[in-house]
Amino acid sequence: MSAPDLLMPKPMLAQTVEALDRAFTVHKLWQAQDPDAVLAGIADRVRFIAAGGHAHVDEALIAALPKLEIIANFGVGYDSVDAAAAARHGVVVTNTPEVLNEDVADLAMALLLATIREVPQADRFLRQGRWLNENYPLTPATLRGRTLGIVGLGRIGKAIARRAEAFGLKIAYYGRRRQADVAYAYHPSVKALAEAVDTLMIIVPGGAETRHLIDAEVLEALGPEGVLINVARGSVVDENALVEALRNRTILAAGLDVFADEPNVPEALMALDNAVLLPHVGSATIHTRRAMGQLVVDNLVSWRDGKGPLTPVAETPWPREKA
């Protein structure tokens, strides 16, 4: 009996692909010379999708696969998968929470430190030979006395907060609702949070609901000593407004691991000396990416074996809600 058919639209880690190859008949769409022809040939057999590499799984693709049962997304964020459409078609979507919390939180704090203390700028200063003739200027910012406002106090947000507390930072947060078991100061809007703090850490999901959540008004509220750190999704920040805020010193600095049109980064951002920019490496360690890939495999195999999904997303809860 042949293994069930699985569609893989984009490349994934070799270890993940090997594990899926052992459990499924994997159709690697990115290798096809004519992807549309391949899709047409397997459309009535595909029951599984492994969505890695920011594979875009929209309603058109979901509707084109009448036997589709589950989409396993590689990543805790799943804005590249139309989960609402999947729910309408009775398809379960899973993601990879928990396994990347610690590495992302580590990177978030590293980016905060690098931005506040100008670590990349100081590195360039040394490499250019300038230390031979002058000392690096004193940095205008320090972590001392700062209050960190976390936009999105979920699993990763809490891991960041624990680290920030160890650095002596006060913590406040914004979310859709106050969390009863959290002692940090809660603010009912992002603008209110920005007014109350001098450092904003963004760690909310992407998508239409959070698009440009950080806009010119929020940046103005953050103020001239303000520092913005984004390890969430580029779409959450209005990049044009951010460029203007950095250029005009409406805020002091920004550290960004994500951008609106990755891997394209605006030249205007790269030209700024008060922006630290990283190529979306929040979870990019071998340890964590392997764990994420294994959770993709585990979700798909569990579903294949009739045990249900391990980490379904909110739009497709399991067991399914009764009508």
**Which are the catalytic amino acids?**
233, 262, 280
The two counts, helices (H) then strands (E), for the chain are: 12, 12
What is the Cα–Cα distance from 112 to 230, expressed in whole angstroms?
9
Non-local CB neighbours of 258 within 8 Å, separated by 6+ positions: 230, 231, 232, 233, 234, 280, 282
Residues present in the chain in total: 323
Rg (CA), the chain: 22
Cis peptide before 319 (omega within 30 of 0): yes
Q: Is 47 helix (H, G, I), strand (E, B) or coil?
A: strand
- DSSP code, position 173: E
- DSSP code, position 208: G
